[in-house]
Structure 1
Amino acid sequence: MSKWGWIVVGGGVLFASLLTLWQTEQPRRVQAKNVFATKKIVVGTTGDYKPFTYLNRKTNEYEGFDIEVIRSFAKTTGIDVEFVPTTWPTLSADLASGKFDMVVGGVTKNIEREIIGDFTSSYLSFQKTPLVRKEDAGRLVSIEQINRPDVTIGLNPGGTNEQFVRKTFTKANIVMYEQNLDIPHAVASGEVDVMITDTVE
């Protein structure tokens, strides 16, 4: 399995759709389950990371690229699929505790996650990028321009974006949002200046 390290804006980050369990005797890991024997796979997903996973509040159904991949897999193999909500801060612990068999929905590879599980092959690479209002597109585009005390960054806890922001933007103000999809609206309304996100999002 290949490893990767952080490269700031302008660098690549590997991306994998699925984080699956593997067998081990170390603490915090659980035994892999034969979903073909149980005829059911339980899938954790955050439902807040378009275009990979999104909980449609009108239908109460999950949508997105990774969701459709799992549904197609389940249909082809003749097993049932159950989606279980998780969050970025609790994703790894939920997987280790056996709350679900795998995770889908834009799960970026990192060492902490690889300690408790295994990834499929990456199918996409991307970069971190700032999301700003149109009128700020000329002044808030570099790390130096954003890393200032008079700039406020909207941030969702628990994911690789939080790790990147806290390491890179030590001088900027940070406002936390429980729901990742609330941050673009906060940028648009002027509640915050910037959202650090991924180019694919």
Structure 2
Amino acid sequence: MRWVKFGIGLVVAAAVAVGCSAPPPAPQPAPNRLQDVLGRGELRVCSTGDYRPFTYRDAAGAWSGIDIDVAHDMARELGVRATIVPTTWKTLMDDFAARCDIAVGGVSITLERAQRAFFSTPFGVDGKTPITRCENAARFQTLEQIDQPGVRAVVNPGGTNEKFARQSLKRATIVEHPDNNTIFQQIVDGHADLMMTDASETRWQARQHPELCPVHPEQPFTFAEKAYLLPQGDVAFQQWVNHYLDIARHDGTYQRFASAWIG
């Protein structure tokens, strides 16, 4: 009988404990950047302004580029204004997390960035390849040819170009140049022998500098996809951006923005 009483006591004690315990915490609402953007009437867009044809900020502070036009069009579709927030490749992830709703401008999808943010649907495939003076193009066809003593590879600090160069080159000299808008002139002027960057950028820069030639841009050393950087965990905003891109790429909107830069 005492075991029955003991068992009843345990049941009563458990019931009292349950009754006295704090209720489970209420579920947290899912992040909703889309509603935040609509509420403030502003789409905050991080961009480096130094990666044509996707993004460019001139000396007067005016912004242009394919992705800048896309960002403004997104804002128009939402009925808000687009505010471009300057950043750098080195500070992109921190600036994006603290100050922006989306980051654009030739951003490559990387596993490192994907630890801290979502990406939109990719809208282009790219990869690292050299650009050099045309008379030197035959010298720099392979990484083995590039990674030789005396070869000077120029990099813009903080982005995927520098990361690839430092991973790939152990004997060549890596030369840092802080301004990606003028970095290609370093090759033209003979201060560097080449730069390894995205094939899309080598094609565009070669049209601006007849002295420079992209090296096998159709077969780059690496594979990468271009996309827009979005807040981590916010599926609703990611879906809206993806739907926008699907429509823009099929109704001619994206091509209209791109054709002004790449034909």
Class of the TM-score when normalised by the shorter of the 2 chains:
0.7 to 0.9
Between structure 1 and structure 2, the one with the greater Rg is 2
Task: State the 1:32 CA deviation.
Answer: 5.4
Residues of 1 paired with 2:196 and 2:164: CA distance? 9
2 CA distance for matches of 1:86 and 1:190?
29
What amino acid sits opposite 1:50 in the alignment? R
In the TM superposition, what whole-angstrom CA distance separates every residue of 1:55-94 from its partner, at most 9, and x where no partner exists? 0224x21100000001111112210111111000000111
Which residue number corresponds to residue 77 of structure 1?
78
Match of 1:38 in 2: 40
Counterparts of 1:175 and 1:32, CA distance in 2: 43
Partner of 2:59: 57
Q: Which residue of 2 aligns with 1:110?
A: 110
- TM-aligned CA deviation for residue 52 of structure 1: 0.3
User: Residue 119 in 1 paired to residue 119 in 2?
Assistant: yes
CA distance in 2, matches of 1:121, 1:166: 29
Deviations 1:139-185 (CA, angstroms, capped at 9, x unpaired): 12211111011100100011111111111111110110111122210
C-alpha RMSD over aligned residues:
1.4
Gaps of 5+ in 2: 1-27, 202-263
**Normalised TM-score (structure 2):** 0.62
Aligned mates of 2:181, 2:194 — CA distance in 1: 13
TM normalised by structure 1 equals: 0.81
Percent of pairs identical after alignment?
38
* 1:115 aligned partner, one-letter code: Q
DSSP 3-state at the match of 1:164: helix
* Residues matched between the structures, number: 170
Matching residue's letter, 2:39:
A
- Structure 1 residue runs without a partner (length 5+): 1-24, 26-30
Task: Report the structure, 1 or 2, having the larger strand content.
Answer: 1
